[in-house]
Amino acid sequence: MTFRQAWEAALYGPDGFYRRERPAQHFRTSVHASALFGQALAGLARAVGATRVVDIGAGSGELGKVLRSEGLDVLEVELDDDLPARLTGLVVANEWLDNLPCELAELDDEGTPRYLLADLSLGEVVEGNDLGWLSAWWPLREPGDRAEIGLARDLAWAEVVRRLDGGVALAIDYGHLRTGRPPYGTLTGFRNGRECEPVLDGSCDITAHVALDSLAAAVPGGTVVMQREALLALGVTATRPDHELSRTDPLRYLTELSSAGEAAELLDPSGLGGFGWVWTGTGDSVVRRASRALSA
């Protein structure tokens, strides 16, 4: 069994992690960090003229709650839900693709890439499209170097974008670019809010960063923007209120101070602000509007 097959079973099999657990109990996404995140996405939806948001991999629906309070119609897509054949409006996938199991490859002592198996030994030689992806996006250099083959994520995202008919599709995730791939990969486990060994027994979340540049290249017009830049462009600000306000309007001062703290977490370049927003749109005016909304 390849690592990917075991990963799939561990997360999504009959007894898998995501069949039993609520994501918010185990890790914190931008959605959990602050309602400012959902409000900014609502701003993006309005900027492109969308009244509807499709949230793929919606988890417990926390983002949908914020978007609905902003007057948007929301469709949440979770495990076992069929993705509609035609997607319109703003389609968002926040931290979905890092949980999409992919094959892992490691260079053996002879310098040949082989699939990593569930027991962490090396299996068959990597060939075909997987090898093509590795050569193009994540060339391995030294024996022992390991890569997460992003093809499964690229194909899944391309399938979402293929269904987009007038609107914007946005995948948000932690990731890396070809210029800075980590030599041993990024496979990580999460359990009860802490990083842990990514064991394949369904007891923890298992995640690997997304190759943001290959994801963008997998769809027409795909563009990568860092979350920090995107949120700043959408008006999220971590500027603290003037201290004078604490005297004249203490309640407002406290509200603004807390909002600035939450914004700082979303914008932190070494944390959530370093996430990638990979977006694409269909329809000239939608693309123009999205591009304007997402650039400072």
Ligand X SMILES: C[S@@+](CC[C@H](N)C(=O)[O-])C[C@H]1O[C@@H](n2cnc3c(N)ncnc32)[C@H](O)[C@@H]1O
For ligand X, the binding residues (CB under 6 A) are 18, 23, 29, 31, 56-59, 77-79, 94-96, 99
User: In the bound complex, what is the minimum distance in angstroms from residue 186's beta carbon to ligand X?
Assistant: 15
Query: Whose Cβ is closer to ligand X: residue 95's or residue 154's?
Result: 95
* Cβ neighbours for 225, distance < 8 A, ≥ 6 positions apart: 276, 277, 279, 294, 295
- Spatial distance between the Cα atoms of 271 and 275, rounded to a whole number of angstroms: 7
User: In the bound complex, what is the minimum distance in angstroms from residue 198's beta carbon to ligand X?
Assistant: 14
85 burial type by CB count under 10 A (0-12 exposed, 13-18 middle, 19+ buried): exposed
Query: Whose Cβ is closer to ligand X: residue 79's or residue 136's?
Result: 79
Query: Whose Cβ is closer to ligand X: residue 41's or residue 293's?
Result: 41
- Spatial distance between the Cα atoms of 230 and 223, rounded to a whole number of angstroms: 12
Which 8-state DSSP code applies to residue 111?
S
- Spatial distance between the Cα atoms of 208 and 191, rounded to a whole number of angstroms: 15
Is residue 113 within 8 Å of 125, Cβ to Cβ?
yes
Query: Whose Cβ is closer to ligand X: residue 18's or residue 138's?
Result: 18
User: In the bound complex, what is the minimum distance in angstroms from residue 226's beta carbon to ligand X?
Assistant: 17
Query: Whose Cβ is closer to ligand X: residue 140's or residue 204's?
Result: 204
User: In the bound complex, what is the minimum distance in angstroms from residue 58's beta carbon to ligand X?
Assistant: 6
Query: Whose Cβ is closer to ligand X: residue 94's or residue 188's?
Result: 94
User: In the bound complex, what is the minimum distance in angstroms from residue 193's beta carbon to ligand X?
Assistant: 13
- Spatial distance between the Cα atoms of 132 and 168, rounded to a whole number of angstroms: 29
- Spatial distance between the Cα atoms of 226 and 234, rounded to a whole number of angstroms: 12
User: In the bound complex, what is the minimum distance in angstroms from residue 289's beta carbon to ligand X?
Assistant: 24
Query: Whose Cβ is closer to ligand X: residue 34's or residue 289's?
Result: 34
* Cβ neighbours for 269, distance < 8 A, ≥ 6 positions apart: 226, 228
* Cβ neighbours for 220, distance < 8 A, ≥ 6 positions apart: 161, 280
Query: Whose Cβ is closer to ligand X: residue 65's or residue 114's?
Result: 65
User: In the bound complex, what is the minimum distance in angstroms from residue 99's beta carbon to ligand X?
Assistant: 5
Q: Which residues pair with 76 in a beta bridge?
A: 55
- Spatial distance between the Cα atoms of 133 and 4, rounded to a whole number of angstroms: 16
Is residue 241 within 8 Å of 295, Cβ to Cβ?
no
Neighbours of 274 (CB within 10 A): 14
User: In the bound complex, what is the minimum distance in angstroms from residue 125's beta carbon to ligand X?
Assistant: 29
